[in-house]
Structures are given as C-alpha cells and as structure tokens.
Amino acid sequence: MPQPVRRRRSDDRIVELSGYLAISEITLSATILVINSGSSSLKFSVYAAEANSLTTLFTGAAEGIGKSEGQLTIEDGGGAQVFHEAARHGTQNDAFDHASAELERLGHRRPAAIGHRIVHGGPHLREHTAISAEVLRALTEAIHFAPLHLPTELEMIRVTQQRYPGVPQFACFDTAFHRTMPAVVVTYALPLRYREAGVQRYGFHGLSYESIVRALAPDIPARLVVAHLGSGASLCALQNGRSVDTSMGMTPTGGIPMGTRSGDLDPGVVLFIARSWNLSTGDLESMLNHESGLAGLANGTSDMRTLTAAAANGDRDAALAIDIFARSIGKTVASYAAVLNGLDMLVFTGGIGEHSPEVRARACAPLAFLGIELDPEKNSRSGADTQGVISARKALCPVRILAADEDGQIARHVLSMMNASGVAARLK
C-alpha cells in the first residue's frame, strides 16, 4: 500500500535556477501530475513517486477561468510560493498551457503518469481506472449525469493527452467511495425503468472523505460523520470507515444548500417554477446550480467570509443565509446519528468547514443531545495546537477539523494502479 504523501521541505534537494526554485532533474524524472478541474478553476499538484511512496513537489491553482480577472499561483512542497501572476485565462486549456509552462521553468518536464479527478462516472464507471478509449466513450455517454463537470474534465484529459503523448493517465472518481452505500440509501422511489437507467444516489466528495479516513487511521471511529463544507458542500455518514449514507444524490446539486446550488427541493417547486416562468431544462439547470443556495438567499453573495461580515453589520439576508446553511448541517448530522445508532466523532473539512468558526458553532449548537459541545476558544482558533480538536473537554462526542487531501488521494490511487499494472517499474 502506498505510504502517506510527504511534503518536501523547501531546502530538500532544491537548487536555484534562473531565479526559480527548481527540483533536481533526478527527483523529477518520476513524477505524478494530478489535475483537478472545475468550472472556473484548475487545481494541480506534482508528486515525486518512488515504488511505494510519494512526496509533494508542487501545488497550484489557476483561478477565475473565463472571467475578466484571474490568477495563477504555484507553491513548492514546503508551502512556499514560487510563482504568482495575475492572468486572464479564457479556457481550461489556456490555464493548463500557462501552468505547464511555469512548471517546466521550475524544472518539471514530463510526468510518468497523470491522475484526473472525475466528479461522476455514471452508472458504469464506479472504480478508479486507467483511461482508455473505452473509458472515454463511457464518460462521454455519461455526460448527462454531470453536464456541468464532465465536459470540462473530458477536455482536460484530451489536452493532457496531446501535451504528453504516451503518458499513462488515470481517472479517479468522486463517486467510487460511496459504492458501499446500501440499496436502501441509493434507491429512489421511482419507477423501475428510471432506476434501470442509472437514476440513483451516487454521492460525491468521495476523495475528500477517503482522505479524512486515511488521516484518522488507524483509530477510525466506528460511527463518524464528516461535513465537507465549501462552495460545494455535503455530509457523509461512515461506519467503520465506509460510506453508508451521504447528502448529495444523483448529481452534486442535491443535499444541503451550497454556495450557488439549491440543494434538495420539493420536486413540485421545480415544476412550479418551470411552468410559471416558462423555463427550459437548461434554464432550470443554470438557476439551480449558479443562482441558488447562499447566493440566491443573499442577493448574489456566496462567499462565507463576506456573508459573516455582512450579517455582523445587520444584513438580514446574509444572516438568514448563514442560519439556513448551518441549520441544514445540524439536521443532517442528527439524521446520520440515527443512521449510525449514535455518533463517535464529527469532523469538519473543506474551505468553510476548516475556516468558519461561525458556521461550526451554529451547526453544533442544537446537537448537545448527541454529546456535542464546542470549546469556544478552540473553535475560534480552528483547533490550532490541539490536533484540530475543537470540542469541549467534557463533551462526549469529539469534534475535529481536518484538512482534506483530494490530490494526495488521487496520487496514491494512481501509484497503486501503476504498481498493479507494472507501469511503476520505471519508478524504481
């Protein structure tokens, strides 16, 4: 089994080249490039790979893709910024061209393998796999399951295949972790013809949840709830480290309200809106995914830091948005305690989960009956110097903050698949 990803210290096997910090070519000769593409961002990481271990060399992100303002930032394995530039990228392709050019200037030429985060593989791709022509066909056929994500992810696969011909590429699915959910969870109360076509609960953020399980190993609580809270947000109930329920459904639009996504709705609401405003399915899809959630409640504002500041200054819409968000989190945690027959630990992760004491406090306030009680000081410091523990000493159920490591999880899966297929022999 691949060992935990290590972050290389900034002074470890690094030499100064032309004003940039560059890893030696010996180290970079066997690397794994991880691509995590979104609608307006492109995240990437580079790992030095040995037969059974990984070391972080670079992490970076291009943000604001397709917008009037954007930027590209790259950090080394020690977290030091080695490149930053305000830059406008019209497409994911533009962003990747820029990022790969800067990585080359930093010494990274050609990876030994590439791993892609794929949000949804449809009903037929539920395990991480090497990318082949057959896999690409199956992903293309599954676009209607995730029309906001899969086209961008497929384009990035094509772009990297063109830039790095012959380099093995792998797809890692956010849905794979949730294959362990039972039929009573994944089955919708719909006619058989729809269920046979793949209409079911799939669940997402699986790579994030998997990384939390790994971070807690070997002492994984038997009854664990993880709240991944960011612009996309979901919760997962885990029994002995395995997913048994999750809030997102067939698509990442379902579950609790999110930054710009509605979360679960009475289906009659969607029908009423479609009829009353004469909206097409495309119009509905755009409204539910880009104009709803926190943004819909707070006049277009979805950033939790902005909302928290506005609520503190008396903005009622912002306050209501935070209340609805936090209440939905608390309700879901309580329902999962029923699913698990109790609760041994609650973990917060994701951008909001890790950095919003206000949301954590409000979500946990009504959960005292589960033994949950936060320490206000620890919560305000985000668990600093307490290994992420923010619960009160007397609390019966510990509450922790842990950082998700989706890219590291992808790299581990890629290395494992390479080892299994014999491709990793080049890494020795």
Reported confidence tier of residue 422, pLDDT bands at 50, 70, 90: low
- Reported as a single tens digit per residue, the pLDDT across 345-377 is 999 999 999 999 999 999 999 999 999 999 999
- CATH of residue 135's domain is 3.30.420.40
Give alpha helix (H) positions in 341-405: 350-355, 357-364, 376-380
Q: Is residue 189 part of a domain?
A: no
Written as one string, the DSSP assignment of 93-119 is: HHHHHHHHHHHHHTT----SEEEEEES
First to last CA, the chain: 16
User: Contact, 179 vs 126, CB < 8 A?
Assistant: yes
Cβ count within 10 A of residue 83:
18
pLDDT of residue 377: 96
Give yes or no for residue 24 having a pLDDT over 80.
no
**What is the domain range of residue 283?**
218-397
Q: Residue 408 to residues 48, 206, 255: CA-CA distances in angstroms?
A: 12, 13, 26
In a domain, 391, yes or no: yes
Q: 289 by DSSP, 3-state: which? A: helix
Q: What is the predicted pLDDT for the residue at 109?
A: 83
Give yes or no: residues 110 and 225 share one domain: no
Count of alpha carbons within 13 angstroms of residue 401, beta-carbon side: 26
Q: Are 52 and 95 part of one and the same domain?
A: yes
**Same-domain check for residues 36 and 101:** yes
The string over 326-356, giving b where at least 16 C-beta atoms fall within 10 Å of a residue's C-beta and e elsewhere, is bbbbbebbbebbebbeebbbbbbbbbbbbbb
> Is 16's pLDDT higher than 80?
no
pLDDT for position 424: 54
- Residue 27, pLDDT above cutoff 50: no
206 domain-assigned: no
327 and 235 fall within a common domain: yes
Is the domain of 415 the same as that of 392? no
Whole-model pTM? 0.90
Does residue 211 belong to any structural domain of this protein?
Answer: no
The mean pLDDT value for 42-50 works out to 94
Q: How far is CA 106 from CA 44, 117, 172, in A?
A: 14, 24, 27
Instruction: Examine the residue annotation and report whether 174 is marked as an active-site residue of this protein.
Output: yes
Is residue 31 domain-shared with residue 151, that is, in the same domain? Answer: yes
Residue 422 identity = G
Sign of torsion over alpha carbons 50, 51, 55, 57: positive
pLDDT digits (tens, 9 = 90+) for 117-147: 999 999 999 999 999 999 999 999 999 999 8
Same domain, 319 and 284: yes
Instruction: For the chain, give the number of residues.
Output: 428
Q: Are 57 and 28 in contact (CB under 8 A)?
A: yes
pLDDT at 13 over 50: no
Asked whether residue 205 carries a pLDDT value surpassing 60, the answer given is: yes
Catalytically annotated residue among 11, 76, 174, 264: 174
- Residue 196 within a domain: no
Task: Kindly state whether residues 385 and 412 are assigned to the same domain.
Answer: no
Judge whether 207 lies within some domain: no
Contact 132, 188 (CB under 8 A): no
- Residues 412, 368: one domain? no
Does 131 lie in the same domain as 261? no
Give the Cα separation of 155 and 184 in Å (integer).
35
Please report which confidence band the pLDDT of residue 325 belongs to, taking 50, 70 and 90 as the band edges: very high
283 domain-assigned: yes
**Same domain assignment for residues 344 and 392:** yes
| CB of 239 closer than 8 Å to CB of 222 | yes
Residue 382 lies in a domain: yes
Domains held by the chain: number: 2
**CA nearest neighbour of 420 among 185, 152, 128, 201:** 128
Residues 83 and 120 occupy one common structural domain: yes
**Residue 397 above 60 pLDDT?**
yes
